[in-house]
Amino acid sequence: MNLRFLIIPYLIGTITAFAQPNPARPDLCQGAYFTEAEGAAALKTFTKTHHDRASWEARAKLIRQGLREGMQLPDKPKFAPLQPIRHSLKKMNGYTVENVYFESVPGLFVTGNLYKPLNVTGKIPAVLCPHGHTPKEDARFVEQTQQRCATMARMGAVVFVYDMLGYGDSKQTSHKIPEALKLQTLNGMRALDFLTSLPEVDKNRVAMSGESGGGTQTFLLTALDQRIKVSVPVVMVSAHFFGGCTCESGMPIHKRPTHQTSNVELAALAAPRPMILISDGKDWTKNTPDVEFPYIQGIYGYYGAKDRVENVHLPTEGHDYGPSKRAAAYRFLAKELKLDLNRVLKDGQIDEAPNKLLEPADLAVFDAAHPRPARAVIGDEAVMALLK
């Protein structure tokens, strides 16, 4: 963590009060959070900077520039040749699963699983699926991740789920390296390159959806890459909480010398592309129906597209990508990507019973038969040097 982002005050327009770092939580990085009242007040201040499409797009351009500069993201990243390796094809009930890796930045590999529908012909939609944080760094293998990928594939989408840094097979570096935000964004771009390179994928029907830290990855990549046509950030878009991990707010993307913003505006950069905010009552998205959603819907209104942004709020639920949240995502994706929801319905309800949960060993990208390439760069210092 670069401590200067915690102690150097930026001159931010007319905002007079910023959230202070929490000394009890040094893991919370720059711009980690406001109080709830400060977050709502900040949105009212941001509203003064735009009143129509033209003024919003001027602010949106500034925010996008701040994203790229804050991440130290080059305009044309020097990616390695993609050259994906796919292995261990498994035929399931209505879909297949493969284990995949490819190079992102030279010497760094993206690892994940590719889910594809059976008995579907022609060009079909695709969904990019980053996952959130889990205590055991096994998020790609857990039930909620496998369920959503399998069900989306049964609906007719090609789905790629990939590891966060330090998770699953992505063990070349620890998760909380100082530039985790930059590197995970680069990996997301490369994952999107891989997904859209598949000959069966309809590039005009590409969505992205993740929960928690994967929700952050979802709205950030959607903001930066117009290839994402539909955005489904789950339990993450908040006016007062910006993410408590270096992979979310560890670089100065919210506080810039020219402006201050929050995750609400970063998510709103999707406009007018379809988006659904899925929120709950037991985490930092508890105010979404009254605070975050109206602000974003107002921006969609500049495009005459208020009907393209939705909110499903589950006030009695907590922080996950559980069954009811998945159901909301499935129905939205079916509508916006023209997927076949009937393929996963039983008596009018989403039926995930046909999905078979696989063991981590079945989903592992690197094993004795498929070792990690010898050219892989290993260790935090070596990866940080690579990023420079």
SS3 call for 351: coil
Segments of the chain with pLDDT less than 50:
1-29
pLDDT at residue 113, rounded to an integer: 98
Count each helix (H run) and each strand (E run) in the chain, helices first: 12, 11
Q: What is the pTM of this model?
A: 0.92
Q: Partners of 90 in the beta sheet? A: 97
SS3 call for 85: strand
pLDDT at residue 236, rounded to an integer: 97
Give the angle 76-79-85 at the CA atoms, nearest 5°.
Answer: 150
* Dihedral angle computed from the Cα positions of residues 363, 369, 371 and 374, in that order, rounded to the nearest 10 degrees: -160
State both tokens at 339: 């997927």
Contact between residue 182 and residue 72 where contact means Cβ atoms under 8 Å apart: yes
pLDDT tens string 21-35 = 444 444 444 555 688
In this structure, the number of other CB atoms found within 10 A of the CB of residue 25 comes to 11
User: For residue 126, which of 354, 274, 343, 333 has the smallest C-alpha distance?
Assistant: 333
CB within 8 A of 77, min separation 6: which ones? Answer: 105, 186, 189
Contact between residue 192 and residue 128 where contact means Cβ atoms under 8 Å apart: yes
CB within 8 A of 6, min separation 6: which ones? Answer: 21, 30
Cα(265)–Cα(128) distance, integer angstroms = 22
Contact between residue 227 and residue 270 where contact means Cβ atoms under 8 Å apart: no
pLDDT at residue 182, rounded to an integer: 97
In this structure, the number of other CB atoms found within 10 A of the CB of residue 61 comes to 11
Contact between residue 231 and residue 273 where contact means Cβ atoms under 8 Å apart: yes
pLDDT tens string 208-257 = 999 999 999 999 999 999 999 999 999 999 999 998 899 999 999 998 99
Q: Token match 């996950």: residue?
A: 320
Check the CA dihedral 238-244-249-254 and report its sign. positive
pLDDT at residue 32, rounded to an integer: 56
pLDDT at residue 388, rounded to an integer: 83
* DSSP secondary structure string for all residues of 252-282: SSSB-SS-B--HHHHHHTTTTS-EEEEEESS
Contact between residue 84 and residue 194 where contact means Cβ atoms under 8 Å apart: yes
For residue 368, which phi and psi values (nearest 5 degrees)? -60, -35
pLDDT at residue 47, rounded to an integer: 97
State both tokens at 214: 């994967």
State both tokens at 141: 């293998």
Q: In this structure, which CATH number among 3.40.50.2300, 3.90.1150.10, 3.40.50.2000, 3.40.50.1820 belongs to the domain 85-362?
A: 3.40.50.1820
End-to-end CA distance of the chain: 16
pLDDT at residue 49, rounded to an integer: 97
